[in-house]
Amino acid sequence: MRSKPRPIRFYKVTKMIDVPVLIAGGGPVGLVLAHELRYRGIRALLVERNPTTTRHPKMDVTNGRSLEHFRRLGIAPAVRAAAVPEDHPMDVIWVTRAAEYEVARFAYPSVIETREIIRRTNDGSLPLEPYMRISQVVLEPVLKELLERDASEIELRFGWGLESFTQDAGGVTAVIRETATGRTETVRCAYLAGCDGGGSTARKQLGIQLEGQSRVAELFMIHFRSRALDVLQKFGVSWHVQSPIGGTLIAQDDREIWTLHTPLPPGVDAAAVDPRALLFQCLGAAIDCEILVANMWTPHLLVAEQYGAGRVWLAGDAVHQYIPTGGYGMNTGVGDAVDLGWKLAAQLQGWGGPRLLESYEAERRPIGLRNREASQRHMGVRLKILFDHYDPSAHEESPAGAAARRALGEGILALGNAENESLGIEIGYRYEHSPIICGEDGEAPPADPLRYTPSTWPGVRAPSVFLADGSALFDRFGPGFTLVRFADCPTEAFERAARERGVPLHVLDVREPRVQAIYQRALVLVRPDLHIAWRGDAAPGDAALIIDRARGAA
């Protein structure tokens, strides 16, 4: 019997997509990278395999350093408008259970109060912007919508993911796949940015391994809606309500949306967990609620052995994964996106040198390692509270219970709350071994995870101060390099060298002795990401070499 002839299928031939940058991943890091590129006039295509932004709450605080970048990009007002109201406190409360007893409190000022503290202090020791309480569920749609309002540089394709890629000396050829249909298209780009999360396709295809400890805990997340404020805000409006045995209850909007992260009791099968029953057990009371999302998840302490290769570079969870203690995951990723973004722009605009992208890994990987260690330390404090200071009798209404609660509270206060007070981690990091930083002889300022001392030692973030007219110094910096001049030093050699190489350079005169004392030198060269590239007390004879070093060409 003759077989039936196969039907002829006609395939529509589509033109290859040609774009300077392909961003794989539409979480907060990919979206911030897209904003950074748009700010610099670089076209990009962003693909995200999920059809919408995340439904999972994940991150719930954006730190001051990230908000400094949001301010620079012009998106801070819109993001803040979606956050928890600025007059709400940031208190962290420790309880036996949410419905029982408070044992310790770490009180922190609201955004409004912090903003006033920053302006009043004005000695360079604080970030320009206060922190902000906002869930990733809320943040991602805002970042996405802001990009969609002006689609001139950035094209967003949600429901499309990175399938594969090859790279050559001239660029990257990538295949993207539509999740719903399986349809594929080909993209030719100069650079591929893998911001595609912990299971990164980009990282795996590069063959880059993650180093560290995976599955350091097993936690259950319950994201829910409830107005049972008599239990959920029994001790007043707060950010976190933490229990040694009940986990962490996060107030997402201080009205009705909450997230509980709690360890499962030993031997309990996650598939058999009743989220409502577990929630009531952790709170110490049954409440009227609607479960929005509930699932098991496992935090990791991992950093990639490399941050990229050739024309493919990675950022965010693709290269580092932390325990949430400290809120370092997304905020570290924002720093990645900013560092990578201005360097990609420099390459595409023709003024970036051959070592510029190499410096991305040299700068960001040590920060990834440092923040992993900090996250681990903070979790160690939580475990110490449970194993060294918690006594089950603390739940009792008895003299023994009161004594146990008193001892628990004293132990918690003695250990402190470094996970929410590590300003040195937030704004005190330094690009110590970067090939594009003009180093100095002498001893660098000590690195302290808790405390930040303003400095202009090459590689650090520039100190933030307000000028005599009330304006923020950061707002006076240009989008490229800024040469801040505090004295009558000639800058023509810098300007000529930058002009000849196409490097964007803005000379900013500041003649305020108070600010110069903070900046420590007569001339300070600030990079596009607000880190110090070079400083000196006189016009150098090798200005061209300094410009070349800063752009990755020396």
* Per-residue model confidence as pLDDT tens digits over 169-205: 999 999 999 999 999 999 999 999 999 999 999 999 9
Res 75: pLDDT: 97
Q: Between residues 457 and 217, which one has the greater pLDDT?
A: 457
What's the pLDDT tens digit per position in 421-475? 999 999 999 999 999 999 999 989 888 999 999 999 999 999 999 999 999 999 9
- The number of residues in the chain equals 554
Residue 282 predicted with pLDDT over 60: yes
Mean pLDDT of the residues in the chain: 95
What burial class does residue 415 get, using C-beta atoms within 10 Å of its C-beta: 0-12 exposed, 13-18 middle, 19+ buried? middle
Is 50 exceeded by the pLDDT of residue 315?
yes
Cβ-based neighbours of 506, under 8 Å, separated by 6 or more: 477, 478, 480, 481, 482, 483
- The pLDDT confidence band at residue 2, using thresholds 50, 70 and 90, is very low
For 539, counting Cβ atoms within 10 Å of its Cβ (0-12 exposed, 13-18 middle, 19+ buried), the class is middle
Confidence of residue 15 (pLDDT cuts 50, 70, 90): low
Q: What is the pLDDT of residues 219-263, one digit of tens each?
A: 999 999 999 999 999 999 999 999 999 999 999 999 999 999 999
Structure tokens at 50: 């999920």
314 pLDDT higher than 60: yes
Q: Say how far apart CA 193 and CA 202 lie, in whole Å.
A: 8
Ranges 263-277, 315-329, 342-356, 520-534: which has the least confidence = 263-277
pLDDT band, very low/low/confident/very high, at 3 (cuts 50, 70, 90)? very low
| Token pair recorded at residue 33 | 């990278």
Question: Which pLDDT value is given to residue 271?
Answer: 84
Tokens of 438: 């003009």
Mean pLDDT, residues 386-394 taken together = 95
Rounded mean pLDDT, 152-162? 96
